[in-house]
Structure 1
Amino acid sequence: MTQSDLTLTELKQGWHQTPTAFICNTCQATFATDEVFAANDKFYPADQMIRRHVRTEHPNRVSDLINDDSKYNTLTAKQRDLLEAFHSGLKDADIAKQNQVAAATVRHQKFTFREKAKQARLYLAIYDNVFDHPNAPEDQLLAVPEQPGSLDDRFIITQAEYQQNLKRYLTTSSVGIQLKRWPKKQKAVVAVLSRIVQEIPRDQHFTEAEITAILKPIFADHAILRRSLIEYGYLDRTTDGTDYWRASTRS
């Protein structure tokens, strides 16, 4: 799961929860909800262990967040330095001296950060109210793999188009889904891959043999299916091809 998939609360606290585990945002350390964990001669349930893990293993997580290399982090190097200084608890006068600027300049920058935060909160409120509602579900866009830059036109698919392609190319039975034939159009390929990848559990890692075991019952040419899932960004893998996992998506 990437930073862009996390909620504001999850980003701030440094961890997120799935139906079966608590997971660290930084190192992906996983603590199953039905297990108890030992540390320093004490035992902790998963919800306490994840907090302890973040506190002890990632004491600089705020700094890591400030310096995150995501395309969504548009802070300049100077702004990052100032935020680091503010977080450290330095007084404005000390920060000004450290950066060889007037104290008034530091106070103005702090005011600017505060105003941007207010703008961001208002924008989120507007966005959530406009887009996060059940109206016209057929017009909502399909969640697709995270991509750098602008969204590729191939991936701009409405829920209505998605359902139409599923009916055309997939069959469902008691043994699962099967792909009738390989689609010729790019959007159709994206649609069927979006459905097929749902057969692969999130937040788990697989060998190539395990991925093949999942894909083979769906389509006879499981090799092209696996390659396409990788090429279109639905699956990630290590360079040596020994480890596979389901990639994050954005809507």
Structure 2
Amino acid sequence: MDYGTLTIEEIRNGYRYDEAEKAHVCNYCGRMFPRGQVFPIGDRYYTPEYAAREHIASEHDSSLKKLIEGGAKYNTFTDTQKELLALFGEGLSDNEIANKLGIKASTVRHQKFTFREKAKQAKYYLAVYEEVFGDGGKARKADDIVDIPNTATMMDDRYVITEKERERILKSEFESMRPLRLRHYPLKAKKQVVVLSEVAKLFELGKKYTEAETREMLAAVYEDYSMLRRYLVDYGFMGRTKDGTEYWLK
């Protein structure tokens, strides 16, 4: 899931409303709760949004836990900070947390202060960024940097790609976009990122694909489907079971 496209509230909730699908969608597994339907939970029926909240709580062990442990490249919390955040989230007092971790209450209070100050910095940073690069900003859209996949495994300059560059690479590397047909697999890492991100769009978030299904879909794009599959996994676009029998979009 690309957190850059979500609001803070959608990230906190663990689900979002997709206008195109007319449904509330789980950020973590892609399950949809279409508008206009009701969903059975126990012996009662609930609205899509309520069902989405219950899904997050029961299937993903709360949105807070997923946020603390997930987030891939955006999650810069240390293991100690994650442990503290989880305990704060349980509503424990500073003294209770200190006793539980075997540290001083003053240490807990200092970390709470640090969390608060970083949150203030983030708000200020976001305000400046939105003023410059948001819808009302004057930054040229053609120079916008393409969003980096949340599951990216290699964080370097290969991901610094503008929208203008992306469009140029797509035109040069693909002989057809509909259906998607790759002319050749590029050698340059930056071009590989663009190509793989486009190929990954063929797969549906939250759906598991057998090895045969994955092979068939990729073979239609490029003759060396095994290479495409390998790089989709290596770059973090897709996951797979250890035995390679199932694949899924990350």
Normalised to the residue count of structure 2, the TM-score between the two structures is 0.74
Identity %: 36
Alignment match, 2:129: 127
**Is the contact made by 2:30 and 2:206 (CA closer than 8 Å) also made in structure 1?**
no
How far apart are 1:33 and its partner, in Å? 0.8
1:211-230 matched pairs, under 5 angstroms = 211-230=214-233
Q: Does 1:197 align with 2:200?
A: yes
CA gap 1:11/1:164 in 2 versus in 1, 3 angstroms: closer
**The residue matched to 1:199 in structure 2 has which SS?**
coil
Structure 1 residue runs of 5 or longer lacking an equivalent are: none
2:158 aligned with 1:171: no
Larger Rg: 1
Q: CA deviation at 1:167?
A: 2.0
Alignment of 1:1-251 (within 5 A): 1=1, 7-18=7-18, 19-20=20-21, 21-25=23-27, 28=29, 30-33=31-34, 35-55=37-57, 61-62=63-64, 65-66=67-68, 70=72, 72-75=75-78, 77=80, 79=81, 83-84=85-86, 86-90=88-92, 101=104, 110-133=112-135, 135-145=139-149, 146-148=151-153, 151-172=155-176, 176-247=179-250
1 CA distance for matches of 2:191 and 2:59?
Answer: 44
Is the partner of 1:62 in helix, strand or coil? helix
Q: Residues 144 and 194 of structure 1 are in contact (CA less than 8 Å); yes or no, is this contact kept in structure 2?
A: no
Tell me if structure 1 keeps the 8 A contact 2:153–2:234.
no
Number of equivalences:
242
- Aligned-residue Cα RMSD (Å) equals 3.6
Q: TM-score, normalised by structure 1?
A: 0.73
Change (3 A) 1:42 1:153: same
- The structure-2 alpha-carbon separation of the partners of 1:220 and 1:48, relative to structure 1 and needing over 3 Å to count, comes to same
Matched-pair contact (CA < 8 Å) for 1:193–1:229: yes
> Using the alignment, how far apart are the partners of 1:195 and 1:177 within structure 2?
9
Q: Deviations over 1:86-141 (max 9, x none)?
A: 44445566667776746x77666544443332222111222233333473233222
Check conservation: 1:229, 1:235, Cα contact below 8 A: yes
Cα deviation, residue 157, structure 1: 2.2
Q: CA deviation at 1:49?
A: 0.8
Shift of 1:63: 5.3
Structure 1 CA distance for aligned equivalents of residues 214 and 34 of structure 2: 26
- In 1, are the aligned partners of 2:16 and 2:25 still within 8 Å (CA)? yes
Q: Secondary structure at the match of 1:210?
A: helix
